[in-house]
């Protein structure tokens, strides 16, 4: 005898489906006859029947096969929120910063260039450099100004990390989905 079967574990999680199954081939496995239409991950087995999980409320929910319900995973949501904040921090840290009305690029290469200019200015107080700004205009800076640009860069990077640490504390203190969703960069 051949039939379609959905094989599942003891909690009702569907492991796979098999067309043209035989009683013999499925011997010793837990299964129900029939295969759900659609993605197997959208279904579970309970009381010998294939049932639909329903819509996942958000990515922070996981299906609990013991309770047969979507449950909120605070720990997962905290991790996802922290990843979102780190991404926003990096975008700001490596975007641009301002000093004395001038806007500077501060991607990793630009930061190294600024650090090199600051080192040169510290070694030679007669240094003057033409600098290409974020808008591609050019400006000449003396050694004192170059050192101030370096200080502004350091303050910018630090401010990004201070802000991220404060937000991390908010994430760790959050106890509900709504509290986590309200947190932003």
User: Could you tell me the pLDDT band of residue 116, with boundaries at 50, 70 and 90?
Assistant: very high
Residue 68 maps to a domain: no
Same domain, 145 and 94: yes
Burial label, 49 (beta-carbon count in 10 A; 0-12, 13-18, 19+): exposed
Question: What pLDDT score was predicted for residue 58?
Answer: 83
**Pairwise CA distance, residues 169 & 157, whole Å:** 19
pLDDT exceeds 80 at position 66: yes
Same domain, 43 and 111: no
Instruction: Tell me what pLDDT residue 176 has.
Output: 92
On average, the pLDDT of the chain sits at 95
34 shares a domain with 93: no
* Residue 133 counted as domain residue: yes
Is residue 65 in some structural domain? no
Q: Integer distance in angstroms from the first to the last C-alpha of the chain?
A: 61
Q: Per the structure, how many domains does the chain have?
A: 2
Is residue 100 domain-resident? yes
Output the pLDDT for position 25: 79
Question: Rounded to 5 degrees, what are φ and ψ at 80?
Answer: -65, -40
Is 130 within 8 Å of 145 (Cβ atoms)?
Answer: no
87 and 143 belong to one structural domain: yes
Q: Is the pLDDT of residue 53 over 90?
A: yes
Q: Residue for token digits 């000093």? A: 99
60 in any annotated domain: no
Give the pTM: 0.72
User: According to the model, what pLDDT value does residue 21 have?
Assistant: 85
Based on the fold, state whether residues 98 and 167 are members of the same structural domain: yes
What pLDDT, in 10s, does the model give residues 72-112? Answer: 999 989 999 999 999 999 999 999 999 999 999 999 999 99
Q: Is residue 85 within 8 Å of residue 91, measured between CB atoms?
A: no
Residues 19 and 79 in one domain: no
Kindly provide the residue ranges of all beta strands, DSSP E only, lying in 58-127, ordered along the sequence: 61-64, 69-72, 96-99, 102-105
The verdict on 116 and 146 lying in the same domain is yes
Say yes or no: 80 and 30 in one domain: no
Same domain for 126 and 82: yes
Q: Is residue 64 assigned to a domain?
A: no
Q: Map tokens 């051949």 to a residue.
A: 2
Statement to judge: residues 21 and 96 lie in one domain: no
66 falls within a domain:
no
Domain match, 120 and 173 both = yes
Q: How confident is the model at residue 156 (pLDDT cuts 50, 70, 90)?
A: very high
> Do residue 94 and residue 165 come from a single domain?
yes
Domain range for 7: 2-55
Task: Give a yes or no: residue 67 inside a domain.
Answer: no
């Amino acid at each position: 005898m051949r039939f379609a079967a959905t094989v599942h574990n003891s909690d009702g999680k569907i492991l796979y489906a098999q067309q043209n199954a035989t009683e013999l081939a499925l011997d010793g496995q837990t299964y129900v006859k029939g295969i759900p239409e659609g993605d197997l991950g959208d279904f579970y087995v309970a009381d010998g029947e294939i049932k639909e999980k329903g819509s996942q409320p958000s990515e922070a929910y996981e299906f609990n096969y013991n309770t047969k319900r979507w449950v909120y995973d605070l720990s997962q949501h905290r991790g996802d929120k922290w990843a979102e904040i780190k991404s926003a921090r990096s975008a700001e840290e490596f975007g641009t910063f301002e000093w004395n009305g001038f806007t500077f690029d501060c991607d990793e290469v630009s930061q190294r260039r600024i650090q090199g200019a600051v080192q040169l200015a510290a070694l030679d107080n007669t240094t003057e450099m033409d600098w290409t700004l974020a808008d591609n205009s050019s400006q000449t800076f003396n050694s004192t100004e170059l050192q101030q640009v370096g200080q502004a860069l350091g303050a910018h990077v630090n401010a990004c990390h201070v802000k991220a640490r404060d937000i991390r504390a908010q994430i760790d203190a959050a106890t509900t989905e709504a509290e986590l969703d309200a947190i932003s960069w």
